[in-house]
């Protein structure tokens, strides 16, 4: 490793835990993790990491998190808003707070996880706030690297879990809209490999890098591949978005089919209609290796 110390915000999530595991494997001794509860602090200690109890939406709780830290990593992100936290609070205010703390502590590099499709012009809050957070990082004056990944797939990821809840119990698989919007699933192992290469190579500093797997797959394609891996075959039923949205307040979308459907928001339904892709050769061109195909990634995640 080029650097001796890393502090990670968002380290207890799916991507964060995989990154921490990789840093440990790399032999990095000084790894600090932002945690929100005592229970997670105990987990961090048990794994050999130093916990910092705090919340990115509360600036005062972050004091000292980046002291004696070379690389600050922000992996914090939410895919739906709650009563407790909005997209703006988590993505924009949280990033601002971390940046201010990183500047006062003199970190050497700020790594920021954004999302493919981030855009100030977006009519949707998720990609818009992701872009606003990017702007805070870019104009901070700190050396930075920004990743914009597509769907990240691996053991325990939220997207795969939601699809399993959708596919397994249903006699037919309901899809809002036509299911033709394309995505570019990326293996968590490949994401980690890209991260480690980027922070150890100065040519990546000051760049916004879009990451995706080697395939452009429609939502329909993704469902078909999942059924193939699971060894099941069911019809896909396309439904008007308006009908699906009407059922959202009841948290039992399509309950007339006799199954609970993963909780989604109206914005997520709209984003499911929009392509979320980049150059399928991006990782090979930028990082010099071929990423795993979705089917192989999914088989590994479900093994």
Whether residue 282 is predicted with pLDDT greater than 70 in this model: the reply is yes
DSSP 8-state code for residue 105 = H
pLDDT band at 243, cuts 50/70/90?
confident
Distances (CA, A) of 8 to 72, 134, 171: 6, 17, 42
Look at residue 259 and tell me if it is in a domain: no
Burial category of 234 from C-beta neighbours within 10 Å (exposed 0-12, middle 13-18, buried 19 and up)? middle
Mean pLDDT along residues 207-216:
98
Q: Residue 129: which of 75, 183, 90 has the closest Cα?
A: 90
* Strand 144-149, strand 207-211: pairing: parallel
Percentage, residues of the chain above pLDDT 90: 83
In the chain, beta strands by DSSP E: 5-9, 30-35, 50-53, 71-74, 109-113, 144-149, 152-153, 173-176, 182-183, 186-187, 207-211, 217-218, 236-239
Position 113 in a domain: yes
Average of pLDDT values for 241-256? Answer: 60
pLDDT at 170: 78
pLDDT of residue 247: 63
Q: Is residue 58 part of a domain?
A: yes
> Model confidence over 140-152: pLDDT tens digits?
999 999 999 999 9
Residue 185 in this model has a pLDDT that exceeds 70: yes
Stretch 272-282: mean pLDDT, rounded?
95
Q: Could you read off the pLDDT of 86-136 as tens digits, one per residue?
A: 999 999 999 999 999 999 999 999 999 999 999 999 999 999 999 999 999
161 within some domain: no
pLDDT at 73 exceeding the cut of 80: yes
Report if residue 246 sits inside a domain: no
Closest residue by Cα to residue 109 from 184, 206, 229, 238: 206
Q: Is the pLDDT of residue 259 over 70?
A: no
| Complete edge-to-edge strand list for the sheet that includes strand 5-9 | 50-53, 30-35, 5-9, 71-74, 109-113, 144-149, 207-211
Host domain of residue 44: 5-149
- Please give the span between the terminal C-alpha atoms of the chain, in angstroms, as a whole number: 30
Domain count, the chain: 1
At 174, the pLDDT band (50, 70, 90 cuts) reads: confident
Is residue 143 within 8 A of residue 109, CB to CB? The reply is yes
Using DSSP's 3-state secondary structure scheme, residue 218 falls into strand
22: which residues sit within 8 A by CB, 6+ positions away? 192, 195, 196
pLDDT of residue 251: 45
Average pLDDT of the residues in 185-208: 98
User: Residue 287 falls within a domain, yes or no?
Assistant: no
* CATH number for position 24: 3.40.50.720
Confidence of residue 241 (pLDDT cuts 50, 70, 90): confident
Decide: residue 39, CB within 10 A, 0-12 exposed, 13-18 middle, 19+ buried: exposed
26 located within any domain: yes
What is the model's pLDDT at position 255? 44
Q: Sorting pLDDT into bands at 50, 70 and 90, what band is 253?
A: very low
pTM summary value:
0.93
pLDDT (average), residues 68-72: 97
Over the stretch 126-140, which tens digit does the pLDDT of each residue have?
999 999 999 999 999
Model pLDDT, residue 191: 98
Phi–psi pair at 111, nearest 5 degrees: -100, 130
Instruction: Report residue 256's pLDDT band, with 50, 70 and 90 as the boundaries.
Output: very low
Whether residue 186 lies inside any domain: the answer is: no
């Amino acid at each position: 490793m080029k650097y001796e110390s890393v502090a990670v915000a968002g380290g207890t999530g799916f991507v964060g835990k995989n990154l921490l595991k990789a840093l440990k494997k790399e032999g990095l001794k000084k790894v600090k993790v932002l945690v929100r509860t005592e229970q997670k602090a105990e987990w961090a200690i048990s794994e050999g990491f130093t916990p910092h109890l705090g919340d990115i939406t509360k600036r005062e709780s972050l004091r000292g998190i980046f002291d004696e830290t070379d690389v600050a990593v922000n992996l914090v992100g939410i895919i739906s808003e709650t009563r407790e936290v909005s997209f703006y609070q988590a993505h924009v205010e949280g990033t601002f707070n971390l940046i201010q703390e990183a500047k006062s502590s003199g970190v050497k590099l700020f790594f920021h996880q954004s999302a493919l499709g981030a855009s100030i012009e977006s009519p949707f809050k998720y990609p818009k706030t992701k872009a606003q957070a990017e702007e805070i990082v870019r104009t901070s004056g700190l050396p930075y690297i920004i990743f914009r990944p597509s769907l990240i797939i691996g053991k325990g990821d939220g997207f795969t879990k939601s699809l399993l809840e959708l596919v397994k119990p249903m006699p037919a698989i309901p899809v809002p809209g036509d299911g033709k919007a394309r995505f570019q699933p990326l293996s968590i192992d490949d994401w980690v490999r890209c991260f480690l290469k980027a922070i150890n190579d100065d040519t990546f500093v000051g760049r916004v890098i879009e990451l995706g797997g080697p395939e452009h797959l429609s939502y329909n394609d993704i469902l078909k591949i999942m059924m193939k891996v699971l060894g099941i075959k069911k019809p896909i039923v396309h439904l008007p978005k308006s009908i699906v949205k009407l059922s959202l307040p009841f948290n039992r979308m399509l309950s007339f089919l006799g199954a609970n459907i993963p909780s989604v928001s109206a914005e997520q339904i709209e984003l499911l209609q929009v392509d979320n892709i980049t150059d399928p050769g991006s990782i090979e061109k930028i990082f010099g290796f071929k990423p795993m195909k979705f089917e192989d990634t999914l088989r590994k995640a479900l093994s």
